[in-house]
Amino acid sequence: MSVNEVYVFRPFKLIALLCVFLALCLDIVALLSPAWVTADHFSLSLWESCSQSEARRPGLEQEQEQEQEEAAWSCFSTLTSDWQIATLVLLGSGAGATLLAFLVALISLCRGTQRKHYRTVAIFLFTAVVLQACALVLYPIKFIDGTVLQTYHEFNWGYGLGWGAAIFTLGAAVLFCLRTDMYEDAMY
């Protein structure tokens, strides 16, 4: 560079890489989360459904009844339901595409061959967003359609982390699509 030239550093790709890393972390935590739907005496994750029986025996003291209620949780696998398996596969595939995009972006940034792989990374990330959005829309629709809960229920933090991962993945995909090499230094 000569004395009159100015170098402008635009960290869009580094920010995008950070977004991909955060999305990957959120994906992992959302997949492993024990709380996707909670209600009184009910909890549902991607892996198991747990409910607490409300059976009480007459004649027991108050403390013994509370201990019995706390220990009466029964859990079973949700991998027998088609829509829950589909949700798990879609989220897992989205996390896999995000991981692959992260590795390609990290290797290309370290080797200095960024421009060659930006489009590939962006395609992987957009694919991951579509997969995750499909899973996150499918889950509440099929849950409400197939489950008859007589109590108030809410979608909990595991489901919210899934949406957070999808949003960070979309942001990273958009940042990888930005063409910062088109700008000329003469403009600055």
pTM of the model: 0.77
**Length, in residues, of the chain:** 188
How confident is the model at residue 70, as a pLDDT?
58
Contact 92, 31 (CB under 8 A): yes
CATH code at position 133: 1.20.140.150
Range of the domain at 108: 12-40+79-187
Q: Is residue 62 part of a domain?
A: no
- CA 24/CA 27 separation, integer angstroms: 5
Q: Is residue 74 part of a domain?
A: no
Instruction: Enter the DSSP assignment of 183.
Output: S
Q: Is residue 60 part of a domain?
A: no
Q: E-assigned strands of the chain?
A: 37-39, 42-44, 48-52, 73-77, 153-155
Q: Is residue 49 part of a domain?
A: no
Q: Is residue 48 part of a domain?
A: no
How confident is the model at residue 183, as a pLDDT?
53
Q: Is residue 121 part of a domain?
A: yes
Q: Is residue 46 part of a domain?
A: no
How confident is the model at residue 98, as a pLDDT?
95
Q: Nearest CA to 91 among 146, 153, 47, 148?
A: 47
Domain count, the chain: 1
Place of tokens 């029964």: 74
- Structure token pair of residue 168: 């960070």
Phi, psi of 34 (to 5 degrees): -85, -5
How confident is the model at residue 164, as a pLDDT?
94
Q: For the chain (length 188 residues), average pLDDT per consecutive 10? A: 56 88 94 85 82 60 54 78 89 94 88 75 94 92 73 84 94 85 48
- Structure token pair of residue 167: 């949003």
- CA 61/CA 65 separation, integer angstroms: 6
Q: Is residue 156 part of a domain?
A: yes
How confident is the model at residue 160, as a pLDDT?
92
